[in-house]
Structure 1
Amino acid sequence: VALEEMTEVGTIVACVILGLSFLVGTPGNLLVIWTIIRHVRPRSHTVELILHLAIADLLVLITLPLWIYSLLQSWIFGKVTCKALTYVIYTCMYSSVFLITIMSVERFVAVRYPFISAGWRRKKALRKLLIGVWAFAFLLSVPVILTRKLENDSCQYEEYDSPGQEVMCLLLETLVGFVVPFSVMVICYSCLYSRIAQMTFKSKRKSTGLTASVVLLFAICWIPHHVGNIISLVLISIQRGDPDAGQNLETVRSAMTFIAGALAFVSSTVNPVLYVFAARSFRSSLRETGIQKLFRHISGSHPGEGTKEMSFVSRRQNSQTQSSACCTESNVPADIDICNQG
């Protein structure tokens, strides 16, 4: 009885969270997509990644009315729709975490190794990388199609052929979809912590701080879901010896399932809200909104700052080239400090 009451309360709370996520996140992500496509040219790598992240979030959010209805009533949309929508959600989950990881690595390289970053931007390798990210996300989500099933008019169940298959699927989802990418994010921002306050260019400081906020909110929203996966792995291990063991742990996992799932959807909602708060420092006008100015600022497309940064990099590269030439012509050893000062 206690479990049923906890599940009912969890369902109601989850529906409220999902409803608010749909009402806030759908127009918010549409605004971000429209603003970037319509008003921001040229676009920096960070803004391009934000665009793809907003697309992934929007694809997740437009499925929410069906999930809310199924939680309050039952799933009446058929087995194919159940598998298809679950596949879309998992694809967007993987693509989101990969996109945020790339944003973190891009910020790390841009701050610590600006010459490499400038060369990467000129090569326009981001488009190929984005195609790879989406293709990998589609591939990783295939197991969901095979395991998701309808049971008791609910599209919330996975059916595995064996405990080993369940362990593999849960480990794949948690390690590849969270632990490894989030570890990369933490390493990147740990290395950048002392540098952020010292950044010369406002656009670089603004984009680095914004990306760090996206990472933090993503972690807060997804940690409960992956904690649930870890609890499921522990239960599998415990119940192999005694099927009746771990009842308390099963109660905890069942009670947190709906809330954790709802918070995962919230991660698709918070980013536009974050951009609005970040854009408060930009005064809007009749011709430009604060969000337009924010994304243009990050892209360096406002007069001056982006051009100054690239010209600064160019001057540093020219200086290094001239210094190297000087060392070569004078037959001075390359490890002497005067030849490495750049």
Structure 2
Amino acid sequence: MQQVIMSNNSCQNGSTDPYSILSVCVYSFISTVGLVFNVTALAFFFNHTKSRSQTIVYMTNLAIADTLLILTLPMRIYYHLGFLGLPQWLCDGLGLVLKANMYGSIFLLTSISFDRCMAVSFPMSLPVQEGRRKAPVVCLGIWILTFGASLPIYLFGPSSGSHNNCFDNLPVYATQPVVVLPTLLLGFAFPLVIMLISSWGLVRSVQQSTVAQTKLVDSRKIYRMIATSLLIFLISFLPYHATLVLLSLKSYKTSCTVLTAYRYSLMVACLNTVLDPIAYYFTTDTFRRKVDIGAVQRMFPLNSQSSEVNGRSRGPRNS
């Protein structure tokens, strides 16, 4: 995404400072582990079309968005190793792809949470089930929205004017009030509210389920699944958007502390591409049965019911 230069040159980093070293390590970890995890997930999703539910449609698109984001990271590693002078069009283009796919991930995670809530809360409602079948259309709309909203900023935003600061510059929407407010509201606050409402609705449905009350379904595992999804969302994206709030305030725009916090929060946001495949494993029974990732299971012993199991607590499998 088009970027502008930071006004305080003392905030710039060299290839041997702690931030650049940490950036190389973190982005290398995300590139390696995240790519393996997401390619494995995509291989499963595309090879098991018979188990393709509405939730799997969202997860497939989420894995694609995460993979595209990961593919932008090698050039960031290259830059933080001290190789300056990258073409500005490349910096801007990779920034566009990263930010668009980050917000695509946010919207897709929100869609998964909402879809799961609808599947469990209204398993016998024909209008709800008909609406859920429009998952491919929803995904297409998300792709159009994220790239369509980002492209004008990339094309018509102010020029950064320097080739040496590439990925250390701030994005336009972090400094332009007319852009930052819609970004915060539509890109984070609204999805978070939807996830919270969906999680509450899912908990309420489980509590009212006669199957859960008879202990045929372990409701505690379902609660862990809900908590895990919300925790991943908040850990990944809350720090990033909190720094955007500070950067949107005039008094903080030249603060090196806030600018440094922005860079670190971006790394945390990118870490979501590693956490999402772990969420697939914990929330989809079919994925857990078919994909042999015993090492991950030993590292993360948390186990939870899938949306399919949740659906059986209220009616026929719909997710």
| TM-score category, normalised to shorter length | 0.7 to 0.9
User: TM-score scaled to structure 2, two decimals?
Assistant: 0.75
Deviations 1:286-319 (A, max 9, x none): xx4357xxxxx9575x9xx87x9438x9xxxxxx
CA–CA distance in 2 between the matches of 1:64 and 1:214?
24
Q: Is the alpha carbon distance of 1:40 and 1:232 closer, same or farther for their aligned partners in structure 2, counting shifts above 3 Å?
A: same
Which residue does the alignment assign to 1:180? 190
CA–CA distance in 2 between the matches of 1:262 and 1:192?
31
Q: What is the aligned counterpart of 2:265 among 251, 260, 276?
A: 260
Q: Is the alpha carbon distance of 1:289 and 1:127 closer, same or farther for their aligned partners in structure 2, counting shifts above 3 Å?
A: closer
CA–CA distance in 2 between the matches of 1:178 and 1:64?
23
Does the 8 A contact of 2:107 with 2:191 survive in 1?
yes
Matched, 1:153 2:161: no
Which amino acid letter does the alignment assign opposite residue 232 of structure 2?
Answer: L
Does the 8 A contact of 1:11 with 1:258 survive in 2?
no
Structure 1, 3-12 or 63-72: larger mean CA deviation:
3-12
SS in 1 for 2:160: strand
Unaligned 5+ runs, structure 1: 239-245, 292-296, 314-342
CA–CA distance in 2 between the matches of 1:251 and 1:37?
45
Q: CA RMSD in A?
A: 3.8
Does the 8 A contact of 2:282 with 2:306 survive in 1?
no
Does the 8 A contact of 1:17 with 1:263 survive in 2?
no
Which residue does the alignment assign to 2:300? none
Q: What is the aligned counterpart of 2:277 among 243, 258, 272?
A: 272
Does the 8 A contact of 1:222 with 1:264 survive in 2?
yes
Deviation at 1:150, TM superposition (A): 5.3
Q: Is the alpha carbon distance of 1:84 and 1:107 closer, same or farther for their aligned partners in structure 2, counting shifts above 3 Å?
A: same
Q: Is the alpha carbon distance of 1:73 and 1:146 closer, same or farther for their aligned partners in structure 2, counting shifts above 3 Å?
A: farther
Which amino acid letter does the alignment assign opposite residue 58 of structure 1?
Answer: T
Does the 8 A contact of 1:17 with 1:262 survive in 2?
yes
Q: Is the alpha carbon distance of 1:217 and 1:28 closer, same or farther for their aligned partners in structure 2, counting shifts above 3 Å?
A: same
User: TM-score scaled to structure 1, two decimals?
Assistant: 0.71
Q: Is the alpha carbon distance of 1:106 and 1:280 closer, same or farther for their aligned partners in structure 2, counting shifts above 3 Å?
A: closer
Deviation at 1:178, TM superposition (A): 0.7
Deviation at 1:114, TM superposition (A): 2.0
CA–CA distance in 2 between the matches of 1:14 and 1:64?
10
Which residue does the alignment assign to 1:191? 201
- Quote the sequence identity (%): 23
Unaligned 5+ runs, structure 2: 1-8, 294-304
Which residue does the alignment assign to 2:180? 170
Q: Is the alpha carbon distance of 1:223 and 1:46 closer, same or farther for their aligned partners in structure 2, counting shifts above 3 Å?
A: same
Matched, 1:225 2:225: no
Q: Is the alpha carbon distance of 1:184 and 1:164 closer, same or farther for their aligned partners in structure 2, counting shifts above 3 Å?
A: closer
Q: Is the alpha carbon distance of 1:26 and 1:226 closer, same or farther for their aligned partners in structure 2, counting shifts above 3 Å?
A: same
CA–CA distance in 1 between the matches of 2:174 and 2:21?
33
Which residue does the alignment assign to 1:38? 47
Deviations 1:230-253 (A, max 9, x none): 11122x1x3xxxxxxx59x81320
Deviation at 1:205, TM superposition (A): 9.4
Q: Is the alpha carbon distance of 1:299 and 1:185 closer, same or farther for their aligned partners in structure 2, counting shifts above 3 Å?
A: closer
Matched, 1:310 2:319: no
Matched, 1:250 2:255: yes
Q: Is the alpha carbon distance of 1:95 and 1:2 closer, same or farther for their aligned partners in structure 2, counting shifts above 3 Å?
A: closer
Deviation at 1:195, TM superposition (A): 3.5
CA–CA distance in 1 between the matches of 2:187 and 2:34?
22
Q: Is the alpha carbon distance of 1:155 and 1:282 closer, same or farther for their aligned partners in structure 2, counting shifts above 3 Å?
A: closer
Deviation at 1:37, TM superposition (A): 0.7
Structure 1, 20-29 or 252-261: larger mean CA deviation:
252-261
Which amino acid letter does the alignment assign opposite residue 49 of structure 1?
Answer: Y
CA–CA distance in 1 between the matches of 2:198 and 2:171?
38
The count of corresponding residues between Structure 1 and Structure 2 is 288
Does the 8 A contact of 1:107 with 1:208 survive in 2?
no
Deviations 1:71-100 (A, max 9, x none): 221444412222221111121122111111
Higher Cα Rg: structure 1 or 2? Answer: 1
Which amino acid letter does the alignment assign opposite residue 316 of structure 2?
Answer: M
Which residue does the alignment assign to 2:60? 51
Does the 8 A contact of 1:217 with 1:270 survive in 2?
yes
